Amino acid sequence: MSLMQTLGLKPAALASSLAKAKVLVVGDVMLDRYWFGDVSRISPEAPVPVAKIGRSEERAGGAANVARNIAGLGGKATILSVVGDDEAADVLERLLKADGIVTSFKRDSNIATTVKLRVVARQQQLIRLDFEDAPSHEILAGKLEEFADIVAAHDVVILSDYGKGGLTHVAEMIQLARAAGKPVLIDPKGDDYSKYAGATLLTPNRSEFRQVAGGWKDEASLTAKAQALRAELNLDALLVTRSEEGMTLFRADGALHQPTFAREVYDVSGAGDTVIGTLGLALAAGQPLPVAMNLANAAAGVVVGKLGTAVCSQQELFAL
């Protein structure tokens, strides 16, 4: 039985509702650059491999990858973020607009747009080089003002926190969105989740959750810690993604677990973006949270079979 049949969904009807759904994505965007080459010798200067680069690729990463996943599934995405006034920002904007994403970048001439440069040889990553700066308070204040202006025009808000400083005003954004009656989904970062209090749902991965709640010895212990955190932060739900163990949704009425959908794991980078992007879009399209979770789990299973920051298309999801 197909995924759509299992969930009782009709592809045509779901595609129509996804096309009408509007999701506002706010957070840290970055440009993922890939240099692909071959290694056949060790450098005479130091004991390191020499990569002869044959081609390169550029992809929108971070919060921008969340927006890409929404657009790939047929939804309407708006991205609000802070970038530098540089070539990398120009490339990001061009990539996003090519995917049909409404882009609102606040340019800060005092910083560089976050860039992650990966050198890949024989399908293995040799090294990653990161370039990043924290945005100024003035630019961030301007972003908050625009958020307040446009939040009501969207069905769901996703806050994608990569710890680069773009979500300094996350608490105010949660309040504004909830006051407008919009669900707020957050991909969290760091060990202090108090700033996310009042959100609709958080999606930490297993290691992120352990960093905040501590370890657990069994499912009962995990459930107790998750429910305690959910209650402490006044969340409607907490979704813990657990890599090869699947994902578990914790709500006031109990826990719901989904085993992993991945058939072959090739690269897990960006899988969290796919989960929260699919989840938010499905909720914006009127699907109940358990169905949205199933769709997110399936979409993530597609993405981990691809190299680098990737998306699951609507066609790929409906074919499962």
DSSP collapsed to 3 states, the chain: CCHHHHHCCCHHHHHHHHHHCEEEEEECEEEEEEEEEEEEEECCCCCCEEEEEEEEEEEEEEHHHHHHHHHHCCCEEEEEEEEECCHHHHHHHHHHHHCCCEEEEEEECCCCCCEEEEEEECCEEEEEEEECCCCCHHHHHHHHHHHHHHHHHCCEEEEECCCCCCCCCHHHHHHHHHHCCCCEEEECCCCCCHHHCCCCEECCEHHHHHHHHCCCCCHHHHHHHHHHHHHHCCCCEEEEECHHHCEEEEECCEEEEECCCCCCCCCCCCHHHHHHHHHHHHHHCCCCHHHHHHHHHHHHHHHCCCCCCCCCCHHHHHCC
pLDDT (tens digit per residue) in 134-177: 887 778 888 899 999 999 999 999 999 988 888 889 999 999 99
Q: 236-262 pLDDT, tens per residue?
A: 999 999 888 889 999 999 999 988 875
The tens digit of pLDDT for each residue in 258-297 reads: 888 756 665 566 788 999 999 999 999 999 999 999 999 9
By C-alpha distance, which of 91, 107, 99 is closest to 69? 99
Using 50, 70 and 90 to split pLDDT, how confident is the model at 214? confident
Average confidence (pLDDT) over 96-124: 92
Predicted confidence at residue 310, as pLDDT, reads: 78
> Would you please indicate which residues are annotated as catalytic (active-site) residues?
273
For position 239, what pLDDT does the model report? Answer: 96
Question: What token pair was written down for 147?
Answer: 């958020």
Nearest to 134, CA basis, from 160, 117, 153, 111: 111
How far is 13 from 178, CA to CA, in rounded Å? 28
**0.75 exceeded by pTM:** yes
